[in-house]
Amino acid sequence: MKRGVAILALCILIGNATTTDAGEIGIYSNPDCTGCEITLQPGSIDTLYVAIQNDGNPPVGCGQPLCGARFRIVGLPSSWFVLEVRPNPEAYFVYGEPFGSEGVALAMSCSSAPCIPLYTLVVIAGNPPIQDAHLRIVAGPICYVWSCPAIHTGDAPCDPTCQCYPGGEILLNPVNDGCTVGAESSSWSNVRALYR
């Protein structure tokens, strides 16, 4: 019994005090957590997807599924406009706005999927045209003492398993090679395991 309590306490402490390298809260050009760039001419409209991407393994909370996130989006060019911001239909708690100065906290039905949708964004490119702009996920509402993008594995918007999670980005109108992905996150997980 004492051992079970000790393991539970350790899980909570790990959830509170660590970051994870299993994936990211990212902005993608496709709803399946792929696509790290878009090209839009002035007046063109496109849809972007904000999602939690992981390598298929539940990344935190001793194997618990993901139940929400806290983040903010920065880097929208001043000539671009957001026409629509739609949270995941499964979200039952949404506080704030992804592009707002404080960001957003979102809680939803828990999932262990490798790509968990958070928001759908419809954007329009304005004039003058921009090149090589980066739309990034950064820290949103502070969860306990952590000032970072965060995920949580409980059904409360800021529960004991709130944990820092890397923020991704999407490249808008790349000029040269655009963005590249050197290895899939599952490949990196295998490489990292060799050095632990």
HSE-CB at 98 with a 13 A cutoff on CA atoms is: 27
Tell which residue, 52, 37, 58, has the closest CA to residue 88.
Answer: 52
How would residue 182 be classed by pLDDT, with cut points 50, 70 and 90? very low
In tens, the pLDDT along 4-63 reads 333 333 333 333 333 344 578 999 999 999 999 999 999 999 999 999 987 655 444 445
Tell which residue, 120, 22, 142, 123, has the closest CA to residue 72.
Answer: 142
Residue 152 pLDDT more than 60? yes
E strand intervals along the chain: 23-28, 37-38, 45-54, 66-74, 81-87, 91-96, 104-111, 115-124, 133-138, 150-152, 163-164, 169-172
In tens, the pLDDT along 59-89 reads 444 456 778 899 999 999 999 999 999 999 9
Average confidence (pLDDT) over 129-144:
86
**Per-domain boundaries in the chain:** 20-179
At position 174, the amino acid (one-letter code) is: P
At position 71, the amino acid (one-letter code) is: F
Give me the phi and psi of 10, to 5 degrees please: -65, -40
Is residue 130 within 8 Å of residue 173, measured between CB atoms? yes
How would residue 180 be classed by pLDDT, with cut points 50, 70 and 90? low
Q: Which residues make beta-bridge pairs with 38?
A: 172
At position 75, the amino acid (one-letter code) is: G
Is residue 38 within 8 Å of residue 46, measured between CB atoms? yes
Tell which residue, 96, 100, 11, 91, has the closest CA to residue 51.
Answer: 91
Q: Which residue has the higher pLDDT, 196 or 32?
A: 32
The CATH number of 20-179, from 2.60.40.680, 1.10.10.10, 3.40.1390.10, 1.10.287.90, is: 2.60.40.680
Encoding tokens for residue 45?
A: 């409209």
Residue 176 is predicted with a pLDDT of 78
| Weakest-pLDDT range from 52-61, 111-120, 171-180, 183-192 | 183-192
Encoding tokens for residue 28?
A: 């993608």
Q: Which residue has the higher pLDDT, 86 or 159?
A: 86
Encoding tokens for residue 163?
A: 């944990």
Q: Which residue has the higher pLDDT, 36 or 177?
A: 36
First to last CA, the chain: 30
